[in-house]
Structure 1
Amino acid sequence: MFHLVQRCCFRTPLRLQKLTGPRLLLHGKNKTSCSSPSLSLQRNVCLLSRPLSLSRASVCAVKLQAFHTSFPLLKKKPPQEPRREPGLLQQSMKSLKESPKPALYLSLAGLIPFVSVPLLMVIQRTYHPELAFLQVTYGAVIVSFIGGMRWGFAIPENSPAKPDWLNLANSIILPLLAWQALLFKDITSSTVMLVISLGIALHYDLSLLPTYPVWFKGLRIVVTVVAAFSLLATLAVKMVSENELINSRPKRQNTKQ
Protein backbone atom coordinates (compact mmCIF):
# COMPACT_ATOMS: atom_id res chain seq x y z
CA MET A 1 0.00 0.00 0.00
CA PHE A 2 2.83 2.34 0.79
CA HIS A 3 4.40 1.75 -2.64
CA LEU A 4 1.12 2.59 -4.41
CA VAL A 5 0.64 5.84 -2.44
CA GLN A 6 4.22 6.87 -3.04
CA ARG A 7 3.99 6.06 -6.75
CA CYS A 8 0.71 7.92 -7.25
CA CYS A 9 1.46 10.98 -5.15
CA PHE A 10 5.09 11.67 -5.78
CA ARG A 11 5.50 10.12 -9.28
CA THR A 12 8.96 8.68 -8.60
CA PRO A 13 10.48 5.89 -10.71
CA LEU A 14 9.79 2.35 -9.66
CA ARG A 15 13.43 1.44 -9.13
CA LEU A 16 13.99 4.46 -6.92
CA GLN A 17 10.92 3.54 -4.86
CA LYS A 18 12.29 0.01 -4.41
CA LEU A 19 15.60 1.41 -3.21
CA THR A 20 14.18 4.00 -0.85
CA GLY A 21 11.12 2.07 0.38
CA PRO A 22 12.86 -0.39 2.69
CA ARG A 23 15.10 2.32 4.02
CA LEU A 24 12.07 4.40 4.95
CA LEU A 25 10.53 1.49 6.78
CA LEU A 26 13.79 0.90 8.61
CA HIS A 27 13.92 4.59 9.43
CA GLY A 28 10.45 4.34 11.07
CA LYS A 29 11.56 1.43 13.23
CA ASN A 30 15.06 2.55 14.01
CA LYS A 31 16.13 6.11 13.25
CA THR A 32 19.81 5.41 13.63
CA SER A 33 19.90 2.69 10.95
CA CYS A 34 19.24 5.02 7.96
CA SER A 35 22.18 6.71 6.32
CA SER A 36 22.20 10.44 5.66
CA PRO A 37 22.89 10.23 1.86
CA SER A 38 19.82 8.10 1.26
CA LEU A 39 17.65 10.52 3.23
CA SER A 40 18.92 13.56 1.38
CA LEU A 41 18.43 11.78 -1.97
CA GLN A 42 14.90 10.85 -1.04
CA ARG A 43 14.02 14.40 0.06
CA ASN A 44 15.38 15.91 -3.12
CA VAL A 45 13.48 13.47 -5.30
CA CYS A 46 10.29 14.13 -3.41
CA LEU A 47 10.66 17.91 -3.75
CA LEU A 48 11.42 17.66 -7.47
CA SER A 49 8.59 15.23 -8.15
CA ARG A 50 5.87 17.37 -6.45
CA PRO A 51 3.99 19.70 -8.76
CA LEU A 52 3.90 23.43 -8.16
CA SER A 53 0.18 23.50 -7.42
CA LEU A 54 0.60 20.89 -4.70
CA SER A 55 3.32 22.89 -2.97
CA ARG A 56 1.19 26.07 -3.07
CA ALA A 57 -1.79 24.20 -1.74
CA SER A 58 0.30 22.77 1.07
CA VAL A 59 1.56 26.25 1.97
CA CYS A 60 -2.00 27.57 2.07
CA ALA A 61 -3.09 24.62 4.17
CA VAL A 62 -0.26 25.26 6.64
CA LYS A 63 -1.25 28.92 6.87
CA LEU A 64 -4.90 28.09 7.42
CA GLN A 65 -3.96 25.53 10.04
CA ALA A 66 -1.79 28.07 11.80
CA PHE A 67 -4.65 30.58 11.66
CA HIS A 68 -7.21 28.21 13.12
CA THR A 69 -4.88 26.90 15.79
CA SER A 70 -3.75 30.31 16.98
CA PHE A 71 -3.54 31.09 20.64
CA PRO A 72 -7.07 31.73 21.97
CA LEU A 73 -6.05 34.79 23.93
CA LEU A 74 -5.04 36.59 20.74
CA LYS A 75 -8.53 36.29 19.28
CA LYS A 76 -10.78 39.30 19.67
CA LYS A 77 -13.60 38.82 22.11
CA PRO A 78 -17.05 40.08 21.09
CA PRO A 79 -17.97 43.34 22.81
CA GLN A 80 -20.22 42.82 25.78
CA GLU A 81 -23.53 44.62 25.81
CA PRO A 82 -23.91 47.19 28.58
CA ARG A 83 -26.25 46.23 31.36
CA ARG A 84 -29.62 47.86 31.17
CA GLU A 85 -30.52 49.91 34.16
CA PRO A 86 -33.92 49.17 35.73
CA GLY A 87 -36.70 51.52 34.76
CA LEU A 88 -38.48 53.99 36.95
CA LEU A 89 -41.31 51.57 37.68
CA GLN A 90 -38.96 48.79 38.80
CA GLN A 91 -36.89 51.12 40.96
CA SER A 92 -39.93 52.59 42.68
CA MET A 93 -41.49 49.19 43.37
CA LYS A 94 -38.23 47.83 44.78
CA SER A 95 -37.82 50.84 47.06
CA LEU A 96 -41.37 50.52 48.36
CA LYS A 97 -40.01 48.50 51.29
CA GLU A 98 -37.86 51.48 52.28
CA SER A 99 -40.85 53.79 52.76
CA PRO A 100 -41.46 55.04 56.31
CA LYS A 101 -44.01 52.98 58.21
CA PRO A 102 -46.38 55.89 59.00
CA ALA A 103 -46.58 56.84 55.31
CA LEU A 104 -47.04 53.22 54.24
CA TYR A 105 -49.71 52.34 56.82
CA LEU A 106 -51.68 55.58 56.41
CA SER A 107 -51.66 55.23 52.62
CA LEU A 108 -52.91 51.64 52.80
CA ALA A 109 -55.57 52.65 55.33
CA GLY A 110 -56.70 55.38 52.98
CA LEU A 111 -57.61 52.71 50.42
CA ILE A 112 -60.26 51.16 52.70
CA PRO A 113 -63.11 53.51 51.60
CA PHE A 114 -62.27 52.75 47.96
CA VAL A 115 -62.13 48.97 48.30
CA SER A 116 -64.96 48.47 50.79
CA VAL A 117 -67.70 49.94 48.59
CA PRO A 118 -67.52 47.52 45.62
CA LEU A 119 -66.72 44.64 47.97
CA LEU A 120 -69.90 45.27 49.97
CA MET A 121 -71.98 45.51 46.80
CA VAL A 122 -70.59 42.25 45.48
CA ILE A 123 -71.33 40.47 48.78
CA GLN A 124 -74.91 41.76 48.90
CA ARG A 125 -75.35 41.40 45.13
CA THR A 126 -77.05 44.78 44.94
CA TYR A 127 -76.03 48.22 43.75
CA HIS A 128 -76.26 51.05 46.28
CA PRO A 129 -76.18 54.47 44.62
CA GLU A 130 -75.64 56.20 47.98
CA LEU A 131 -72.45 54.25 48.61
CA ALA A 132 -71.28 54.92 45.07
CA PHE A 133 -71.76 58.66 45.58
CA LEU A 134 -69.82 58.50 48.86
CA GLN A 135 -66.99 56.72 47.07
CA VAL A 136 -66.89 59.39 44.36
CA THR A 137 -66.88 62.14 46.99
CA TYR A 138 -64.02 60.51 48.85
CA GLY A 139 -62.11 60.13 45.56
CA ALA A 140 -62.56 63.84 44.84
CA VAL A 141 -61.13 64.67 48.28
CA ILE A 142 -58.10 62.42 47.66
CA VAL A 143 -57.42 64.01 44.25
CA SER A 144 -57.56 67.48 45.85
CA PHE A 145 -55.20 66.32 48.60
CA ILE A 146 -52.69 65.05 46.02
CA GLY A 147 -52.81 68.39 44.26
CA GLY A 148 -52.21 70.25 47.53
CA MET A 149 -49.09 68.18 48.27
CA ARG A 150 -47.31 69.97 45.44
CA TRP A 151 -47.69 73.31 47.21
CA GLY A 152 -46.29 71.87 50.42
CA PHE A 153 -43.38 70.37 48.51
CA ALA A 154 -42.51 73.53 46.56
CA ILE A 155 -42.81 76.20 49.24
CA PRO A 156 -39.87 75.31 51.58
CA GLU A 157 -36.59 77.06 50.78
CA ASN A 158 -34.44 73.93 50.61
CA SER A 159 -36.89 72.03 48.41
CA PRO A 160 -35.74 70.88 44.92
CA ALA A 161 -39.09 72.07 43.53
CA LYS A 162 -39.49 75.78 42.93
CA PRO A 163 -42.71 77.71 43.58
CA ASP A 164 -43.07 78.58 39.90
CA TRP A 165 -46.04 78.52 37.55
CA LEU A 166 -45.45 74.92 36.53
CA ASN A 167 -45.62 73.44 40.03
CA LEU A 168 -48.30 75.65 41.53
CA ALA A 169 -50.62 75.79 38.51
CA ASN A 170 -50.55 72.06 37.96
CA SER A 171 -51.42 71.47 41.59
CA ILE A 172 -54.52 73.64 41.20
CA ILE A 173 -55.73 71.73 38.13
CA LEU A 174 -56.33 68.57 40.17
CA PRO A 175 -58.85 70.13 42.64
CA LEU A 176 -60.67 71.66 39.68
CA LEU A 177 -60.99 68.24 38.05
CA ALA A 178 -62.25 66.74 41.31
CA TRP A 179 -64.83 69.53 41.65
CA GLN A 180 -65.97 68.90 38.09
CA ALA A 181 -66.45 65.23 38.89
CA LEU A 182 -68.85 66.11 41.69
CA LEU A 183 -70.89 68.34 39.40
CA PHE A 184 -71.93 65.46 37.15
CA LYS A 185 -75.36 64.06 37.91
CA ASP A 186 -74.48 60.62 36.59
CA ILE A 187 -72.23 58.41 38.72
CA THR A 188 -70.67 56.92 35.58
CA SER A 189 -69.39 60.28 34.35
CA SER A 190 -68.13 61.17 37.83
CA THR A 191 -66.27 57.87 38.14
CA VAL A 192 -64.60 58.23 34.74
CA MET A 193 -63.59 61.80 35.58
CA LEU A 194 -62.01 60.70 38.85
CA VAL A 195 -60.05 57.88 37.18
CA ILE A 196 -58.69 60.38 34.64
CA SER A 197 -57.79 62.79 37.46
CA LEU A 198 -55.89 60.07 39.34
CA GLY A 199 -53.97 59.20 36.17
CA ILE A 200 -53.03 62.85 35.55
CA ALA A 201 -51.86 63.25 39.16
CA LEU A 202 -49.68 60.15 38.88
CA HIS A 203 -48.22 61.40 35.60
CA TYR A 204 -47.34 64.72 37.22
CA ASP A 205 -45.59 63.10 40.17
CA LEU A 206 -43.59 60.57 38.11
CA SER A 207 -42.41 62.49 35.07
CA LEU A 208 -43.37 66.12 34.64
CA LEU A 209 -42.77 67.87 37.93
CA PRO A 210 -39.64 67.72 40.15
CA THR A 211 -39.11 64.33 41.63
CA TYR A 212 -40.37 63.01 44.92
CA PRO A 213 -38.39 60.33 46.80
CA VAL A 214 -38.29 56.98 45.01
CA TRP A 215 -40.19 55.16 47.77
CA PHE A 216 -42.97 57.75 47.55
CA LYS A 217 -43.30 57.13 43.81
CA GLY A 218 -43.82 53.42 44.41
CA LEU A 219 -46.41 54.21 47.05
CA ARG A 220 -48.20 56.56 44.67
CA ILE A 221 -48.32 53.88 41.97
CA VAL A 222 -49.89 51.32 44.32
CA VAL A 223 -52.46 53.75 45.73
CA THR A 224 -53.46 55.06 42.30
CA VAL A 225 -53.90 51.60 40.78
CA VAL A 226 -55.97 50.26 43.67
CA ALA A 227 -58.16 53.37 43.83
CA ALA A 228 -58.79 53.39 40.07
CA PHE A 229 -59.71 49.68 39.98
CA SER A 230 -62.05 50.14 42.95
CA LEU A 231 -63.91 52.94 41.18
CA LEU A 232 -64.16 50.90 38.01
CA ALA A 233 -65.38 47.89 40.01
CA THR A 234 -68.25 49.97 41.43
CA LEU A 235 -69.09 51.08 37.92
CA ALA A 236 -69.09 47.45 36.74
CA VAL A 237 -71.48 46.46 39.56
CA LYS A 238 -73.79 49.29 38.52
CA MET A 239 -73.86 48.12 34.90
CA VAL A 240 -74.49 44.50 35.90
CA SER A 241 -77.35 45.46 38.20
CA GLU A 242 -78.94 47.60 35.51
CA ASN A 243 -78.79 44.74 33.02
CA GLU A 244 -80.40 42.40 35.55
CA LEU A 245 -83.23 44.88 36.11
CA ILE A 246 -83.81 45.21 32.39
CA ASN A 247 -83.93 41.45 31.94
CA SER A 248 -86.27 40.96 34.91
CA ARG A 249 -88.91 43.45 33.72
CA PRO A 250 -90.41 41.29 30.93
CA LYS A 251 -90.69 38.35 33.34
CA ARG A 252 -92.68 40.47 35.82
CA GLN A 253 -94.99 41.72 33.10
CA ASN A 254 -95.67 38.16 31.93
CA THR A 255 -96.47 37.00 35.46
CA LYS A 256 -98.95 39.87 35.97
CA GLN A 257 -100.81 39.04 32.76
Structure 2
Amino acid sequence: MSEESRPPETPAEVPRPRRKGIYMLPNAVTLAALFASFYGIVMAMNGRFELAAIGIFCAAVLDALDGRVARMTNSQSAFGEQMDSLCDMVGFGAAPALIVYEWALQGLGRWGWLPAFVYIAGAALRLARFNTNIGIVDKRFFQGLPSPAAAALVMGLIWVMDDAGFKNVAQIEWLAWTAFAVTLYAGLTMVTNVPFYSFKVMGAKQTVPFASIMAIALAIALISQNPPLALFALFCIYGVSGYGVYVWRRMKGRPVSVIATSTDDPDEKGLHQ
Protein backbone atom coordinates (compact mmCIF):
# COMPACT_ATOMS: atom_id res chain seq x y z
CA MET A 1 0.00 0.00 0.00
CA SER A 2 1.41 3.33 -1.03
CA GLU A 3 1.74 6.21 1.37
CA GLU A 4 -0.88 8.15 -0.63
CA SER A 5 -3.54 5.43 -0.18
CA ARG A 6 -2.78 4.80 3.52
CA PRO A 7 -5.61 6.09 5.72
CA PRO A 8 -4.67 9.06 7.88
CA GLU A 9 -3.69 8.16 11.41
CA THR A 10 -6.16 9.20 14.05
CA PRO A 11 -4.60 11.05 16.93
CA ALA A 12 -4.35 9.07 20.12
CA GLU A 13 -7.15 9.78 22.49
CA VAL A 14 -6.06 12.07 25.28
CA PRO A 15 -7.00 10.47 28.61
CA ARG A 16 -9.58 12.48 30.44
CA PRO A 17 -8.40 13.77 33.80
CA ARG A 18 -9.86 11.96 36.76
CA ARG A 19 -12.49 13.86 38.63
CA LYS A 20 -11.18 14.90 42.00
CA GLY A 21 -13.09 13.49 44.93
CA ILE A 22 -12.86 13.71 48.68
CA TYR A 23 -11.98 11.04 51.20
CA MET A 24 -15.00 9.88 53.13
CA LEU A 25 -13.71 8.65 56.49
CA PRO A 26 -11.52 11.53 57.78
CA ASN A 27 -13.95 14.17 56.53
CA ALA A 28 -16.84 12.34 58.18
CA VAL A 29 -14.95 12.56 61.49
CA THR A 30 -14.37 16.28 60.89
CA LEU A 31 -18.08 16.79 60.18
CA ALA A 32 -18.92 14.92 63.39
CA ALA A 33 -16.68 17.37 65.28
CA LEU A 34 -18.49 20.27 63.60
CA PHE A 35 -21.84 18.82 64.62
CA ALA A 36 -20.66 18.45 68.24
CA SER A 37 -19.70 22.14 68.22
CA PHE A 38 -23.05 23.13 66.73
CA TYR A 39 -24.77 20.98 69.34
CA GLY A 40 -22.86 22.85 72.06
CA ILE A 41 -24.03 26.22 70.75
CA VAL A 42 -27.67 25.07 70.58
CA MET A 43 -27.53 23.66 74.10
CA ALA A 44 -26.12 26.95 75.41
CA MET A 45 -28.96 28.83 73.73
CA ASN A 46 -31.35 26.57 75.65
CA GLY A 47 -29.54 27.07 78.96
CA ARG A 48 -28.09 23.53 79.03
CA PHE A 49 -24.51 24.56 79.70
CA GLU A 50 -23.32 21.19 80.96
CA LEU A 51 -24.31 19.60 77.65
CA ALA A 52 -22.77 22.54 75.79
CA ALA A 53 -19.42 21.90 77.49
CA ILE A 54 -19.64 18.17 76.80
CA GLY A 55 -20.32 18.94 73.13
CA ILE A 56 -17.12 20.99 72.83
CA PHE A 57 -15.08 18.31 74.62
CA CYS A 58 -16.44 15.73 72.18
CA ALA A 59 -15.48 18.02 69.30
CA ALA A 60 -11.92 18.18 70.70
CA VAL A 61 -11.69 14.38 70.84
CA LEU A 62 -12.96 14.04 67.27
CA ASP A 63 -10.57 16.77 66.10
CA ALA A 64 -7.68 14.78 67.54
CA LEU A 65 -8.86 11.71 65.64
CA ASP A 66 -9.50 13.02 62.13
CA GLY A 67 -5.87 13.73 61.32
CA ARG A 68 -4.74 10.39 62.67
CA VAL A 69 -7.46 8.60 60.71
CA ALA A 70 -6.30 10.37 57.54
CA ARG A 71 -2.68 9.33 58.12
CA MET A 72 -3.57 5.75 59.01
CA THR A 73 -5.70 5.35 55.89
CA ASN A 74 -3.30 7.37 53.69
CA SER A 75 -6.14 9.73 52.80
CA GLN A 76 -4.63 13.15 53.51
CA SER A 77 -5.77 15.88 51.15
CA ALA A 78 -5.66 19.66 50.79
CA PHE A 79 -9.45 19.68 50.98
CA GLY A 80 -9.36 17.85 54.31
CA GLU A 81 -6.78 20.27 55.73
CA GLN A 82 -8.87 23.30 54.79
CA MET A 83 -12.07 21.76 56.09
CA ASP A 84 -10.40 20.80 59.37
CA SER A 85 -9.14 24.35 59.84
CA LEU A 86 -12.56 25.88 59.18
CA CYS A 87 -14.26 23.45 61.56
CA ASP A 88 -11.64 24.23 64.22
CA MET A 89 -12.48 27.92 63.93
CA VAL A 90 -16.14 27.13 64.59
CA GLY A 91 -15.61 24.50 67.27
CA PHE A 92 -12.75 26.06 69.23
CA GLY A 93 -13.13 29.72 68.31
CA ALA A 94 -16.69 30.86 67.77
CA ALA A 95 -18.50 28.21 69.83
CA PRO A 96 -16.60 28.66 73.15
CA ALA A 97 -16.77 32.46 72.86
CA LEU A 98 -20.54 32.39 72.31
CA ILE A 99 -21.15 29.79 75.01
CA VAL A 100 -19.14 31.56 77.71
CA TYR A 101 -20.74 34.89 76.79
CA GLU A 102 -24.19 33.35 77.11
CA TRP A 103 -23.19 31.65 80.38
CA ALA A 104 -21.58 34.53 82.28
CA LEU A 105 -20.12 37.41 80.30
CA GLN A 106 -23.39 39.00 79.22
CA GLY A 107 -23.92 39.99 82.87
CA LEU A 108 -20.92 42.34 82.60
CA GLY A 109 -22.48 44.45 79.88
CA ARG A 110 -20.07 45.75 77.26
CA TRP A 111 -17.13 44.59 79.35
CA GLY A 112 -18.30 41.07 78.59
CA TRP A 113 -17.68 41.63 74.90
CA LEU A 114 -13.94 42.15 75.49
CA PRO A 115 -12.81 38.64 76.55
CA ALA A 116 -15.23 36.93 74.17
CA PHE A 117 -13.93 38.92 71.19
CA VAL A 118 -10.29 38.57 72.26
CA TYR A 119 -10.82 34.83 72.49
CA ILE A 120 -12.43 34.43 69.06
CA ALA A 121 -9.83 36.75 67.46
CA GLY A 122 -7.03 34.84 69.18
CA ALA A 123 -8.38 31.56 67.83
CA ALA A 124 -8.52 32.95 64.28
CA LEU A 125 -5.00 34.37 64.48
CA ARG A 126 -3.63 31.20 66.03
CA LEU A 127 -5.14 28.95 63.35
CA ALA A 128 -3.90 31.23 60.57
CA ARG A 129 -0.39 31.24 62.04
CA PHE A 130 -0.47 27.47 62.49
CA ASN A 131 -1.43 26.95 58.84
CA THR A 132 1.33 29.22 57.55
CA ASN A 133 4.07 27.99 59.92
CA ILE A 134 3.26 24.29 59.75
CA GLY A 135 6.48 23.43 57.90
CA ILE A 136 8.90 25.40 60.10
CA VAL A 137 7.72 24.72 63.65
CA ASP A 138 9.32 22.18 65.97
CA LYS A 139 7.02 19.14 65.91
CA ARG A 140 7.52 18.65 69.64
CA PHE A 141 5.83 21.94 70.54
CA PHE A 142 2.88 24.12 69.66
CA GLN A 143 3.51 27.82 69.15
CA GLY A 144 1.08 29.20 71.69
CA LEU A 145 -1.78 27.40 73.41
CA PRO A 146 -3.56 25.15 70.87
CA SER A 147 -7.17 26.16 70.26
CA PRO A 148 -8.71 22.83 71.44
CA ALA A 149 -6.90 23.20 74.77
CA ALA A 150 -8.01 26.84 75.05
CA ALA A 151 -11.60 25.76 74.41
CA ALA A 152 -11.27 22.96 76.99
CA LEU A 153 -10.00 25.48 79.55
CA VAL A 154 -13.03 27.74 79.11
CA MET A 155 -15.54 24.90 78.79
CA GLY A 156 -14.00 23.13 81.78
CA LEU A 157 -14.76 26.13 83.98
CA ILE A 158 -18.37 26.13 82.78
CA TRP A 159 -18.76 22.38 83.32
CA VAL A 160 -17.27 22.45 86.83
CA MET A 161 -19.39 25.35 88.00
CA ASP A 162 -22.57 24.03 86.43
CA ASP A 163 -21.93 20.63 88.02
CA ALA A 164 -21.44 22.39 91.38
CA GLY A 165 -24.93 23.85 91.10
CA PHE A 166 -24.21 27.44 90.03
CA LYS A 167 -27.09 28.72 87.90
CA ASN A 168 -27.78 32.16 86.44
CA VAL A 169 -24.06 32.83 86.51
CA ALA A 170 -24.48 36.16 84.72
CA GLN A 171 -25.99 37.44 88.00
CA ILE A 172 -23.09 36.15 90.15
CA GLU A 173 -20.52 38.92 89.87
CA TRP A 174 -17.43 37.11 91.18
CA LEU A 175 -18.03 34.12 88.91
CA ALA A 176 -18.68 36.33 85.89
CA TRP A 177 -15.34 38.08 86.46
CA THR A 178 -13.66 34.69 86.89
CA ALA A 179 -15.02 33.70 83.49
CA PHE A 180 -13.76 37.06 82.18
CA ALA A 181 -10.21 36.30 83.39
CA VAL A 182 -10.11 32.70 82.18
CA THR A 183 -11.49 33.57 78.73
CA LEU A 184 -9.10 36.50 78.32
CA TYR A 185 -6.15 34.35 79.44
CA ALA A 186 -7.04 31.58 76.97
CA GLY A 187 -7.48 34.03 74.09
CA LEU A 188 -4.19 35.85 74.69
CA THR A 189 -2.19 32.69 75.34
CA MET A 190 -3.20 31.30 71.96
CA VAL A 191 -1.29 34.08 70.18
CA THR A 192 1.85 34.07 72.31
CA ASN A 193 5.10 32.42 71.21
CA VAL A 194 5.20 30.32 74.38
CA PRO A 195 6.00 26.65 73.59
CA PHE A 196 3.39 24.09 74.64
CA TYR A 197 4.30 20.41 74.42
CA SER A 198 2.44 18.77 71.52
CA PHE A 199 2.76 15.05 72.47
CA LYS A 200 3.21 14.33 68.75
CA VAL A 201 6.45 12.47 69.40
CA MET A 202 4.50 9.86 71.35
CA GLY A 203 3.46 7.97 68.25
CA ALA A 204 1.88 4.56 68.00
CA LYS A 205 5.18 3.11 66.70
CA GLN A 206 7.28 4.39 69.59
CA THR A 207 7.80 2.15 72.59
CA VAL A 208 7.15 3.44 76.09
CA PRO A 209 7.94 2.01 79.53
CA PHE A 210 5.38 -0.37 81.01
CA ALA A 211 4.85 2.07 83.88
CA SER A 212 3.53 4.63 81.38
CA ILE A 213 0.60 2.37 80.51
CA MET A 214 -0.21 1.95 84.19
CA ALA A 215 -0.04 5.73 84.64
CA ILE A 216 -2.56 6.17 81.81
CA ALA A 217 -4.86 3.57 83.41
CA LEU A 218 -4.60 5.40 86.75
CA ALA A 219 -5.36 8.73 85.09
CA ILE A 220 -8.47 7.31 83.42
CA ALA A 221 -9.65 5.94 86.77
CA LEU A 222 -9.12 9.29 88.49
CA ILE A 223 -10.90 11.22 85.72
CA SER A 224 -13.88 8.87 85.95
CA GLN A 225 -14.39 9.81 89.61
CA ASN A 226 -15.24 13.41 88.75
CA PRO A 227 -14.88 14.14 85.01
CA PRO A 228 -15.64 17.91 85.13
CA LEU A 229 -13.18 18.67 87.92
CA ALA A 230 -10.48 16.28 86.69
CA LEU A 231 -10.56 17.53 83.09
CA PHE A 232 -10.61 21.16 84.17
CA ALA A 233 -7.63 20.61 86.48
CA LEU A 234 -5.80 18.75 83.73
CA PHE A 235 -6.25 21.55 81.22
CA CYS A 236 -5.42 24.22 83.81
CA ILE A 237 -2.07 22.48 84.34
CA TYR A 238 -1.50 22.25 80.60
CA GLY A 239 -2.64 25.84 80.13
CA VAL A 240 0.21 27.14 82.34
CA SER A 241 2.78 24.49 81.40
CA GLY A 242 3.98 26.47 78.39
CA TYR A 243 5.07 29.35 80.59
CA GLY A 244 6.95 26.86 82.77
CA VAL A 245 8.73 25.48 79.69
CA TYR A 246 9.50 29.04 78.58
CA VAL A 247 11.07 29.97 81.94
CA TRP A 248 13.00 26.68 82.16
CA ARG A 249 14.50 27.09 78.69
CA ARG A 250 15.39 30.70 79.47
CA MET A 251 17.17 29.60 82.64
CA LYS A 252 19.08 26.92 80.72
CA GLY A 253 20.08 29.42 78.05
CA ARG A 254 18.29 27.44 75.35
CA PRO A 255 16.25 29.07 72.54
CA VAL A 256 12.63 29.59 73.48
CA SER A 257 11.32 30.03 69.94
CA VAL A 258 9.86 26.97 68.22
CA ILE A 259 10.46 28.49 64.76
CA ALA A 260 13.42 27.12 62.82
CA THR A 261 16.30 29.40 61.89
CA SER A 262 18.75 26.69 60.81
CA THR A 263 18.23 23.02 60.04
CA ASP A 264 21.81 22.30 61.19
CA ASP A 265 21.43 23.67 64.71
CA PRO A 266 21.42 20.80 67.28
CA ASP A 267 19.08 22.85 69.50
CA GLU A 268 16.50 22.69 66.73
CA LYS A 269 16.34 18.93 66.52
CA GLY A 270 12.84 18.00 65.45
CA LEU A 271 12.35 20.92 63.08
CA HIS A 272 11.52 20.36 59.43
CA GLN A 273 10.49 16.76 60.01
Higher CA-based Rg: 1
More helix by share: 1
TM-score by length of 2: 0.29
TM-score by length of 1: 0.31
